Structure 1
Amino acid sequence: MDSSEESKPLLGAVDGSVNFLHAQNDSEEQNYLDKVQNGKLYLATFAAVLGPLSFGFVLGYSSPAIPDLQRIGDPNLRLGNEEASWFGSVVTLGAALGGVIGGWVVDKIGRKLSLMMCSIPFIFGFTIIISAQSIWMLYLGRVLTGLASGVTSLVVPLYISETAHTRVRGTLGSCVQLMVVTGIMGAYIAGLVLDWRWLAVVCSLPPALMLVLMCFMPETPRYLLTQNRRAEACVALRFLRGPEVDHEWECRQIEDSSAERGSRLQLQDLQKPEIYKPFIIGVLLMFLQQMTGINAIMFYAQTIFEEANFKNSSVATVIVAAVQVSLTAVAALIMDRAGRKVLLIISGVTMAISTGVFGVYFKLTSADPSNSSIHDLHLFATQSPGGSTEGALAWLALGSMGMFIAGFALGWGPIPWLVMSEIFPAKSRGFSSGACVLTNWGSAFIITKEFHDLLNLLANSGTFWLFSGFCVLNVLFTAFFVPETKGKSLEQIEEHFRSPS
């Protein structure tokens, strides 16, 4: 008999034993999770997501503030087109630097202290803007708030993923983006009634509250275990899971998942599939998220609606932000049921269609009179029943923008940040997350700063068709390369990347 045939019963027995152990572990995990009390976990998550709320205010601040600063009487503070471009985009440079610093700090002092520390540049940055006497003070304030935003965008997803359990990790992780868009909408609404200085005062309140609340929240159990602080990890689990569960069992599960958990990342580790595969996926997710044009659109939302001849552009931006908040909340509710990949694909298709339609709108409203067929179509499309052409297609601009924001909120807004917090192994989590944040904000700076140049080079229509093409690329990348992480523990996801497939 062939030796391979002799080994088949043995292999089958081994596989059966492995499957039995997996089933037993799953059963133990379900019994454990049935006893979990989530109240204090939700409280810790709320304290942490005040950070994303703060950088949502940072992102949204420029849209109502720029028109104010362009009309201001003081020549030392008045922004021209170039200064306005820098004011809107320089925050992303600070955020990119924050990603680099955050990747180092989060492993040195922990997740909790990193969050508390980043509230300081938030508050200090807005204080400088409030007291600004020159354009350079405005820039400095924006850089500092951007720095805090970069650290926050790295630390908060890690904090939530390392404190949450598998049943709610997707929902709680999606709250990061939900709070970002809530902050953006808050800045838009406040900007309707407040000038740029008082708006900066309002924007400084969430980080101050975060600093106070985080004093009473625990460090993440996984970070404490990497520092050989097992007793403190069990205390943290008691706070996060309630007194009814076996905290020692979860500690053992985390400890047993990887013998390398406490080791440092070495250069040769980059050759391991569990390191380089999630690293490449995470970096590309962040790059492709920005190439949809989302930050350019949100930074200049009010300007875009003015270009589209929408009569009340500030109200339109509030409506769009409200759509984003609503759909991001929906994504958070269904994240752990629908899965990450499905929502990413639906999101990408929706954004590709909406940016394509937005490009058509701009093509119609800027039609070349020398082209008779386009000119006739332009007249037909823009002629209202009363005979007025100005603003007759504003509904199409608002509808396309709303559809884009809805699509982004369902998938490509929250999920790249959620997946980033899930797929990296413990030993490379700080380094890889820092690289992702640097990629995200670096790409955001390029797109935001060069948005007006893109409009001049490709025209409004061509720019939005370019964004549409990248949305199509996002769908293909998701379908072929992004793993599904729904319902898996962080340790199971790490094991997935170790497999040869």
Structure 2
Amino acid sequence: MENPQQNSEEGLMPKSSPPQPNPAIVANEAGQGSGFPESDKSSATPVVVLSTLVAICGSFAYGCTIGYSSPAESGMRADLRLSVTQYSVFGSVLTVGGIIGSLVNGKIADLVGRRRTMWLSELFCIVGWLAVAFSKHAWSLYLGRFSLGIGLVLMAYVIPVYIAEITPKNIRGAFTAAFQFLLTSGLSVMYLVGTVVSWRALALIAAVPCLLQIIGLFFIPESPRWLAKVGREKELETTLQRLRGKNADISMESAHIREYTQTFEMDSKVGIFYLFQRKYAYPLVVGVGLSAMQPLLGATAIQYYASYIFSEADFSTKIGSISLAIIQLPVIGASVLLTDRFGRRPLLLASTIVMCLSLAIIATAFGLQGTHRWNEVTSVLVYVGIMGFSVGYSIGLSGLPGVVMAEVYDYVI
């Protein structure tokens, strides 16, 4: 990285990688950009497809958790007599659990393997959903939500890494993009189903993909890169052959995996102070800045409290939730196509502009409501603002920060 600014800017130009959740981790762990070539002729075998489907059950569960708060709010507050503050704590405890889990997710995945980490994440999620579904008091809601936070952050780390490590390089981007698509699908299902079932039933429905993944994990192999990392050479060969097909020649790929693993292990001993070099300043500012923009621009607030916002604007929460459910998936699909055509920077600029304008519309609507002027258009403006915000976020800031980090960070970072 002799010219970090140039490399970083090139990372924002059009490339073939579609949006991926946290692909900075994927790139570093799975060897993208490692300098060791892989077979470009490998295809998606049935084992690879099955393994990916099982893994992305977890991403669907992730989306269910993110989308649960909004449709569940009115019923939960009425049944348990929760104040706005208590329900806000319920939403926030998920982040607290995530912070705790983020301190150990990488170490757990390296220590016990990718499959066992997915098992552990789903166990945390199932315990969390059961605690929420059968809660009688606020404290049990908080405990359940905290458990979900830990499970989600384990899931968010290990699933993209596992998918990237089992798929051939030439189809890796498409498979990893499935994480973001299924996450959005889970969020949309919660918005949609939440309009017709109670909050307790919705919590039990959200636990179903967690259970499906736990069952499916019995039938898929461990990551060959993790097996190489822990020195289980025989299992590495067997697993790689199973993933690539009986007649596939895996000798070159297995050699590359071993070589990269040894190189990565040596470089991973570098401490955090290694990052405090001038050549890493620009990519770190870009990556960390984009990641910080996701929560700072209000994405979590809209996702968690959309129903409450609709209600305060005297707009139908049912129509609003259904609209959010419908609009998410086509926008994510468009984002994948537009990223390759127009590049990262234009989409990120468009995304932030649309989000800011949408928030301004929402703020203006509630400002007019407070002055008792144009009250009849307040609900419409809030609806337009939330829909616009959802489109803007999904098309750019939802997935692109991770893509950019994968392209501007080298594997040492």
Same fold (TM over 0.5): yes
Say whether the 8 Å CA contact 1:174–1:335 is kept in structure 2: no
Counterpart CA distance in 1 for 2:382 and 2:45 is 42
Give unpaired runs (5+ residues) of structure 2: 1-34
- Partner residue in 1 for 2:233: 230
Measure, in 1, the Cα distance between the counterparts of 2:100 and 2:147. Answer: 10
Counterpart of 2:301 (choices 296, 304, 324) is 296
C-alpha deviation, 1:138, in angstroms: 1.3
The residue type equivalent to 1:160 in the other structure is: I
Q: Does 1:358 align with 2:362?
A: yes
User: Which of 287, 290, 312 is the equivalent residue of 1:307?
Assistant: 312
Aligned to 1:348: 352
Q: Does the 8 A contact of 1:64 with 1:191 survive in 2?
A: yes
Question: 1:378-433 CA distances to partner (integer Å, 9 max, x unpaired)?
Answer: 5xxx3xxxxxx53x34333222222221121122112334556x46xxxxxxxxxx
- In the alignment, the residues of structure 1 paired with residue 78 and residue 247 of structure 2 have an alpha-carbon distance, to the nearest angstrom, of 60
Q: Quote the Cα distance in structure 1 between the aligned partners of 2:268 and 2:274.
A: 11
Contact 1:36–1:244 (Cα < 8 Å) also in 2: no
For the Cα contact (< 8 Å) 2:71–2:321, is it kept in 1?
A: no
Aligned to 2:93: 90
C-alpha distance in structure 2 between counterparts of 1:281 and 1:222, whole Å = 29
Q: Match of 1:402?
A: 387
Q: Which residue of 1 aligns with 2:78?
A: 71
Counterparts in 2 of 1:2-41, with a 5 A limit? 32-41=39-48
Aligned partner (choices 221, 225, 228) of residue 224 of structure 2: 221
Kindly provide the amino acid, as one letter, of the partner of residue 285 in structure 1: L
TM-score normalized by the length of structure 2: 0.81
Query: Would you say the 8 A contact 1:227–1:262 is kept in 2?
Result: no
Three-state SS of the structure 1 residue aligned to 2:219 is coil
Letter in 2 for 1:323: I
Inter-partner Cα distance in structure 1 for 2:340 and 2:240: 22
- 2:133 aligned with 1:148, yes or no? no
Q: Secondary structure at the match of 2:192?
A: helix
Tell me which residue corresponds to 1:439: none
Give TM-score, length-normalised by structure 1.
0.68
Q: What do residues 119-175 of structure 1 show as CA deviations (whole Å, max 9, x unaligned)?
A: 111111111222222211111111111211111111112222222334333332232
How many residues get paired?
A: 377
- 1:327 matched to 2:294? The reply is no
Partner of 2:320: 316
CA–CA distance in 2 between the matches of 1:266 and 1:244? 38
Change (3 A) 1:208 1:248: same
* Residues 70/101 of structure 1: CA separation in 2 closer, same or farther (3 Å cut): same
Distance 1:194-1:246 versus aligned 2 partners, 3 A rule: same
Letter in 2 for 1:349: I
Inter-CA distance 239–289: structure 2 relative to 1 (3 Å threshold): farther
Q: Deviation string for 1:300-336 (max 9, x for gaps)?
A: 00111122221x1132122113212221233345656
Matches within 5 A, 1:472-487: 483=408
Superposed, 1:68-147 pairs within 5 Å as: 68-72=75-79, 77-147=80-150
Question: Which residue type is aligned with residue 192 of structure 1?
Answer: T
Runs of 5+ unmatched residues, structure 1: 1-25, 370-377, 383-388, 424-482, 486-492
Q: 1:325-383: CA deviations, max 9, x gaps?
A: 2212333456566654454343233323332333333334434x7xxxxxxxx5xxx3x
Q: Which moved more, 1:89-98 or 1:227-236?
A: 227-236
Q: Which has the larger radius of gyration?
A: 1
Residue type of the partner of 1:397? V
Q: CA deviation at 1:108?
A: 0.9
Q: Give the alignment partner of residue 292 of structure 2, picking from 270, 287, 301.
A: 287
**RMSD of the alignment, in Å?**
3.0
1:231: how far off? 3.4
Equivalence for 1:494: 411
Report the counterpart of residue 27 of structure 2 in structure 1.
none
Deviation at 1:278, TM superposition (A): 6.3
Contact 1:178 1:414 in 2 (8 A): no
Distance 1:241-1:413 versus aligned 2 partners, 3 A rule: farther
The separation in 1 between residues aligned to 2:261 and 2:271, in whole angstroms, is: 18
Alignment partner of 1:214: what SS?
Answer: helix
Is 1:53–1:206's contact at 8 Å kept on the other side of the alignment? yes
For 1:415, the aligned partner's letter is: L
Identity across matched positions, percent: 28
Aligned amino acid, residue 300 of structure 2: N
Q: Separation in 1 of the partners of 2:47 and 2:343? A: 25
Q: What is the rounded CA distance, in whole Å, between the counterparts of 1:226 and 1:275 in structure 2? A: 27
Query: By how many angstroms is 1:279 displaced?
Result: 6.1
